[in-house]
Amino acid sequence: MDFEDLVNTSRKRTMLMWTVIFMIAFPSYFAVMPSLIDDKMVGDSSGINGEWSISFEETTEVLSETINLADEESYDSFFDISSEINIGYVELSISCMDNDDPGPGFSDSVDGTSDLSGVEGDFEDLTEQGTCAGGGGSGFTMRWDVTENYTGDNITQSDVTDQEIREQWDDMGFGRGTWSATITADISAPPAPIVGEIVDSDEDYEIEWTMVSYVLVIEPVIQI
């Protein structure tokens, strides 16, 4: 078939013309289109800018123990963490209830000092003190945010990419290791024996370590 056979009718000439136009225009279309699309629509290499619904599927791990301490006696508590998902926060709670208090002015108390030298990341050691008043709810709590400003609350963010959100809610591998704290009892008792023995010579302390880890869930917000 020679060229004359391709153009010897009006229909063939029309088909040939559109074929040539398509061969020229198709590559040019894909070469030009990226420059015509708004940067905010495309985003960068990390994803598309948009509005996103963000939630956290949490997992809670708890280590509890109860100890009995005499006046000025100390106890070292340890909590080993090796989470494979992001860690939101770690919390240490010490509770006690002085139910053998001999009278006003003799409530036991507790001191605590953390030691985070065995933990990945730059966390501040804390020192706290709490009383063991007979009404309950006493003691103290220490908390460390491994992921900055973590609350676990569902939120919405706009004009950001999926990747930017994941970078924001990333614990950077921190928080793994051995969390520890020293608990010291302060027993308050009368200076003289009552009925042949000292009342309130020790106290029970409940120690509870809590780690909350999470999986990040990101979904686009669809405007209807």
The CATH number of whichever domain residue 91 belongs to comes to 2.60.120.380
| Number of domains comprising the chain | 2
- pLDDT score at 6: 52
Query: Which residues, other chains included, contact 180 with Cβ-Cβ below 8 Å and sequence gap of 6+?
Result: 76, 77, 78, 79, 114, 115, 116, 118
pLDDT for 49 equals 85
Tell if the pTM clears 0.85, that is, is over it.
no
21-25, 33-37, 53-57, 175-179 — which is least confidently predicted? 33-37
Same domain, yes or no, for 127 and 204?
A: yes
Q: Is residue 44 part of a domain?
A: no
Number of other CB atoms surrounding residue 112 within 10 Å: 24
Are 12 and 60 in the same domain?
no
194 and 119 share a domain? yes
For residue 24, pLDDT beyond 70: no
| Domain interval for residue 178 | 50-220
Q: Can you give the pLDDT at residue 30?
A: 47
Which residue in 220, 160, 166, 218 sits closest to 40, CA to CA? 160
- Domain contains 214: yes
Residues 21 and 80 placed together within one structural domain of the fold: no
Q: Is residue 82 part of a domain?
A: yes
In this structure, are 122 and 18 located in the same domain? no
**Nearest-CA neighbor of 181 among 88, 87, 85, 90?**
90
pLDDT over threshold 90, residue 173: yes
The model's pLDDT over 122-167, given as tens digits with 9 standing for 90+, comes to 999 999 999 987 655 689 999 999 999 999 999 999 999 999 999 9
Assigned domain for 15 exists: yes
> Are residues 191 and 103 part of one domain?
yes
